């Protein structure tokens, strides 16, 4: 596995990462990591790699976009001194353009999204052993849907940055597309954004595959 023993993994993002986690920093006893993919990742790392003694910290915050991440990056990432950082952001950057079309101040253009995310990655890479970038997604099989199409554009930005900066990359949209070959989006998400436990397991598996998790260890 790419993440070595004794590592501290900080996972940051929006509500999909937050998922009811403990504030201000989620780590420790009594299920602080929330009900989502972060908790599943932590549980499987602990169960399959107990000898690695890995620490998983959740600092996702509901409603946040990439600009919000930049505002709290020092406190919620750098100051925690992680070995690895996982970032999944972009859903709200796109969504606000559709559910709040008249509130331009709530929108994040694709140019600003790319510039800000890339700046955070460049700032962080010298301080850590590695980063994992996950694309935003929309659980919709119709790629011509306006929000799905826009989300794909933002996902392509994440892929571009991951390639340029040589980070690990998770195409979250692609794994949901594979799921949608067998089920309708309603089976895992009421709004095509916030998944149930099966949807979170889809994200967790994709993340673990990216870091070289050995399922039959």
Distance CA 16, CA 26 (A): 14
Does the active-site annotation cover 191? yes
Q: 35 in helix, strand or coil?
A: coil
Distance CA 131, CA 134 (A): 10
Active-site pick, 31, 107, 145, 194? 194
Does the active-site annotation cover 15? yes
Cβ count within 10 A of residue 110: 16
Are the CB atoms for 103 and 96 separated by under 8 Å? yes
Active-site pick, 7, 14, 15, 86? 15
Q: How open is the CA angle 213-214-217, to the nearest 5 degrees?
A: 140
Active-site pick, 79, 99, 191, 209? 191
Q: 102 in helix, strand or coil?
A: coil
Does the active-site annotation cover 194? yes
- Within 13 Å of residue 77, how many CA atoms lie on the same side as its CB? 24
Active site residues: 15, 191, 194
């Amino acid at each position: 596995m790419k993440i070595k023993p004794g590592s501290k993994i900080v996972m940051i993002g929006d509500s999909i990462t937050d998922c009811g986690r403990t504030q201000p920093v989620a780590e420790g006893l009594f299920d602080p990591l929330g009900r989502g993919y972060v908790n599943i990742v932590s549980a499987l790392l602990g169960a399959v790699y107990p000898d690695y003694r890995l620490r998983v910290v959740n600092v996702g915050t509901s409603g946040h976009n990439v600009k919000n991440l930049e505002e709290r990056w020092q406190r919620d990432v750098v100051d925690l001194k992680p070995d690895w950082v996982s970032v999944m952001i972009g859903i709200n950057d796109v969504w606000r353009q559709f559910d709040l079309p008249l509130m331009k101040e709530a929108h994040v253009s694709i140019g600003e999204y790319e510039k800000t995310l890339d700046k955070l990655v460049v700032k962080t890479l010298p301080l850590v052993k590695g980063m994992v970038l996950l694309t935003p997604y929309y659980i919709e099989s119709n790629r011509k849907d306006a929000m799905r199409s826009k989300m794909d554009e933002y996902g392509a930005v994440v892929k571009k940055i991951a390639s340029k900066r040589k980070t690990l990359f998770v195409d979250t949209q692609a794994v949901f597309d594979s799921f949608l070959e067998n089920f309708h989006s309603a089976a895992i998400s009421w709004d095509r954004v916030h998944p149930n436990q099966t949807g979170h397991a889809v994200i967790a598996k994709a993340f673990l595959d990216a870091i070289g998790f050995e399922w039959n260890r």
